[in-house]
Amino acid sequence: MEPRQIRIGHSPDPDDAFMFYALTHGKLDTAGLTFQHVIQDIESLNHLAVEGELEVTALSVHAYGYVMDKYALLNSGGSFGDKCGPIVVARKPMDVGELADDRIAVPGTMTSAYLLLKLLLMNFRFEVVPFDRIMEVVQSGELDAGLLIHEGQITYQQMGLHKIVDLGEWWHADTGLPTPLGVNAVRKDLGKQLMQKIAELLTESIRYAVEHRDEAVAYAREFGRGMDTAATEQFVGMYVNPLTLDMGMKGREAIALLLTRAYHAALVPRPVNLEFVE
């Protein structure tokens, strides 16, 4: 394959770092392709995808509803919660229904976490806050509640906060499906051969990380703000699961259902048309 540099966008969280470790650290024969990290928060990556900026990128399932014309999905590398997902926290215990009157900090309006909360509550007041400041603004009383992604899902109790709802638990109870949160996508204009090669390499990268777990977790820990090795292991274990290597029909069904519900609720602009690199 002709030498070429491929930019890979991923968020600064341990599960993405774990998955891309081998691919960006010379652990694989990449057949002349070189891969460059582009590390941005997930909402920034979602907006870059709308512009078609990166050849390969992690993005929110929600955001795929806006970029189906530019990107095809990869079967591997998806983040699916198994009865777990983004959580809403507050300074004091409350019922879910009370959230409708609160001001909720959210990590971005194109995140899957935001979409799930919209499908649950439909109408609520919110303010977009960088994901790594959400616990801080809730603890300080600046906002009433916060929608947590990344490591906040397992460290919120250290800040004295209370879980109000786990959106992954709610989604599973409602649908019986895993919670579709993140996917990896490749730009269609790269052409079929290159798209397929990238898909193969990403799967190999995840398999390498799973087979060399200690090595990959040690690297992933660099992205786990305030997390020790045990917490990093826990977080990676939440979102790197059998569906990560191959989402299969169950993963595809979950993505299709989430985006179909979003379309019917006028939360994404076009009907669902999932395209995968086979």
Residues known to be catalytic: 150
Residues 145, 166: Cα–Cα separation, whole Å: 13
Residue 101 vs residues 72, 90, 145: alpha-carbon distances, Å: 39, 13, 10
In contact, 61 and 182? CB cutoff 8 Å: yes
Residue linked to tokens 């582009």? 38
The 10 Å Cβ neighbour count of residue 276 is 14
DSSP 8-class letter at 171: H
Residue 74, H or E segment: none
**First CA to last CA across the chain, in angstroms?**
19
